[in-house]
Chains A and B, each alone.
Chain A
Amino acid sequence: MVIRSKDVRQSESIELLEPEVVELAEEAGETPVATVNLRLMRDVQLTTTGKVTGKSYHWSGAGSITPVDEPDVELLLQRGVHKSCCGSLSKSYFEIVGD
């Protein structure tokens, strides 16, 4: 689109406007994935991959919270549950953080 300036007498100035950029909507077939906030209960800096989605998640230390895609939550909650040497049952690496 070209706009001719009416105020310039000696020379004509032409202002070029960039065509509007129309952002595409979300690609067909992609829907937002629900996430669940998981709090790390272990004293480690943890990086792990979701077994279902293949996404990589990172926790910076004990008490840190990271959103996790819902399909990965169940398997992550089973992580770390095993019998300790002294008979007690260790707890999961994670706990779900309420809304």
Chain B
Amino acid sequence: MALVTGNPYGNIQVQEDIYLESAPTIWFQDYTSAEFFAPDADGYYWQLTGTSTYPVYEMGCAANVSMTENLTVNDVLCDNVGVKDTVQQRNYLELQFTIRSFFPFDNLTHVLKGGAVTETAPTQKFGMSTVNNNKFWHVYAAKVYDEIAGDYFAIHLHKAKFVNAFTINMPFGSPWEVTGVVFRAFADTTKPANQRFGVFVRSDASVIT
């Protein structure tokens, strides 16, 4: 006797029994530089490759990492029926996190929207002045979920900016942390329409064959 499950019939796209946990590692690079795949064989722009002029910066020890989107949402209201539809427009994606690594300053200054770093051993310095609103970044966040097989999931945001106010917490007995770190990823009109904001990538040779 067949098991009665109440499942639908026909072609069903089931979900896999793989669960991601822990935060990805986050890197960013000056938007001026080209992505590593620009584009790849499938036409996607993603991954970073650091150069001497445009290094890739690592966000060490990130915590409370989350990703969200901002949408303009408007209902289609018909006075005789009510809401018949909802029209949505994606405004931007946001990657939000806290960082607990402060050094070196060449990484930190960008998070805090600071100035150029001057280093004269044994000191590093940078100034806090007006925000440079012309600074954009590629952002790449990757999570390896099977370290033996090398399977990973990655998010690439084409054109992002550090937005909103940061807060540096300095608690007793706990590490300092910078909260309120937000990468806001805008539509990049230089990219194809199917990937205006970014790309999601998954590599898994055992499943994707």
B3 beta carbon closer than 8 Å to chain A: no
Q: Are B61 and A39 within 8 A (Cβ)?
A: no
Interface string of A17-60 (1 = CB under 8 A from B): 00000000000000000000001111111111100000000000
Q: Which residues of B contact A (CB under 8 A)?
A: 25, 51-55, 57-58, 60-61, 101, 104-106, 116-121, 124
With CB as the reference atom, state the residue of chain A lying closest to B120: A47
Question: Given A62-B55, A86-B25, are A43 and B106 neighbors across the interface (CB < 8 Å)?
Answer: yes
- Tell me if B52 and A61 are in contact (CB < 8 A): no
16 A–B pairs (Cβ distance < 8 Å), ordered by A: A39-B52, A43-B57, A44-B124, A45-B116, A45-B118, A46-B118, A48-B119, A48-B120, A48-B121, A49-B121, A62-B54, A63-B53, A84-B60, A85-B60, A86-B25, A86-B58
User: In the complex, what residues of A have CB within 8 A of residue B57's CB?
Assistant: 43
Measured between beta carbons, the chain A residues less than 8 angstroms from B104 are 42
A72 at interface by CB-CB < 8 Å: no
Contact status A45-B121, CB under 8 Å: no
Give the shortest distance, in Å, between A89 (CB) and chain B (any CB).
12
Total count of chain A residues near the partner, CB < 8 A: 19
Partner of B55, one of A42, A49, A84: A42
Which residues of A are interface residues toward B (Cβ below 8 A)? Answer: 39-49, 61-63, 84-86, 88, 95
Q: Decide: B55 and A45 in contact? CB cutoff 8 A.
A: no
Contacts A41-B55, A49-B121 supplied; 4 other A-B pairs, CB < 8 Å: A44-B105, A62-B53, A86-B25, A86-B58
Known: A45-B119, A46-B119, A86-B25. A95 touches B60 (CB 8 A): no
Task: Please name the residue on chain A nearest to B52 by beta carbon.
Answer: A63
Q: How far is the CB of B126 from chain A (nearest CB, A)?
A: 9
Question: In the complex, A85→B25 CA distance in Å?
Answer: 11
| Distance of A49 Cα from B124 Cα, bound (Å) | 15
Which chain A positions have C-beta within 8 A of B121?
Answer: 47-49
Closest Cβ–Cβ distance, residue A87 to chain B (whole Å): 10
In Å, the complex CA distance between A62 and B55 comes to 8
B52 touches A41 (CB 8 A): yes
Q: Are A40 and B25 in contact (CB under 8 A)?
A: no
